[in-house]
Amino acid sequence: MTVSSLTYDGLTPVSVRVTCRERRYTVSDDGAAVRAAGVQAGRLAFPDHIDFGDRSVNVSRQGVVWLPAVAPSDERLATICRLVERGSLALYEQLLEVE
């Protein structure tokens, strides 16, 4: 688990998990934005992605923000982690507006 300087509510840090199987990586917030917003994932329809200009992150039906990567460099993996962190925070903010 990596923890960023971003926070959901000023206290709860945004964190992402990096998993690797062979050369395939997945960077995910493990649904942390949904938990931080205090909503029930089963009751909401989530967007399938969140855009940041020319980049975007995926969002699962359960509200998990994630991105895949195949054998990324350390720099690219760090960029992917930052994108997932931003995506998780953006989803959290969207969920607060719905509630």
Residue in the structure block whose two tokens are 């997945």: 26
Mean pLDDT of the chain: 93
Sequence-distant (6+) residues with CB within 8 A of 84 are 16, 27, 28, 29, 57, 65, 66, 67
Asked if residue 37 lies in contact with residue 78, where contact means CB atoms within 8 angstroms, the answer is no
Asked if residue 32 lies in contact with residue 19, where contact means CB atoms within 8 angstroms, the answer is no
Q: What pTM value is reported for the model? A: 0.92
Structure tokens at 11: 């206290």
d(CA 95, CA 93) in angstroms, rounded, equals 5
- In tens digits, the chain (99 residues) has pLDDT values of 777 889 999 999 999 999 999 999 999 999 999 999 999 888 889 999 999 899 999 999 999 999 999 999 999 999 999 999 999 999 999 999 875
